[in-house]
Amino acid sequence: MEPSGEDLEKIILDYAARIGSFAKVEGVASSQLEQIIASLENSKDRRYALLYCAAFAKRQASRLGRGNRMAYEIVEAMKELYEKNLGKEEARKLLGLTKWVRESLEDVRVPFQGVKDYQEYLNLIIGSKR
């Protein structure tokens, strides 16, 4: 069952904040996120592309020796989108926002545990400028 538009936006925002914050904490470069986004094109099928992306994210973390928590969250996000009958369009949106979150945290001290949702991300950004 596909979520309503508002529910889907909340899912995307919250995952993007968690994944982006873990990318920052674990020292994952934006270029790695770009490669993960590009992995969505490894399948022509809009849904199976999510599973390819999940495997690629985990592979990249293993290969680089960092980004395991980020990869775990990507796997969880892709699994949830897949189970909700969503496809690579939504995944691209989520991962694109993830990249923006990661880049926005460049000069922000992020707690080791990352952030739990988009609201906590916004509070972190606001607090870093005070």
**Token reading at 89:** 């369009």
Q: Rounded to 10 degrees, what is the CA torsion of 72, 74, 76, 81?
A: -170
CA 21 to CA 33: how far, in whole Å? Answer: 12
Number of H helices, E strands in the chain: 6, 0
pLDDT at 129: 64
CA 7 to CA 95: how far, in whole Å? Answer: 17
Could you read off the pLDDT of 40-96 as tens digits, one per residue?
999 999 999 999 999 999 999 999 999 999 999 999 999 999 999 999 999 999 999
Q: Tell me what percent of the residues of the chain surpass a pLDDT of 90.
A: 92
Q: What is the pTM (predicted TM-score) of this model?
A: 0.93
Sequence ranges of the domains in the chain:
15-106
CA 10 to CA 127: how far, in whole Å? Answer: 22
pLDDT at 6: 82
Q: What is the residue-wise DSSP string for 1-63?
A: -PPPHHHHHHHHHHHHHHHHHHHHHTT--HHHHHHHHHGGGG-SSTTHHHHHHHHHHHHHHHH
- pLDDT tier at 1, thresholds 50, 70, 90: low
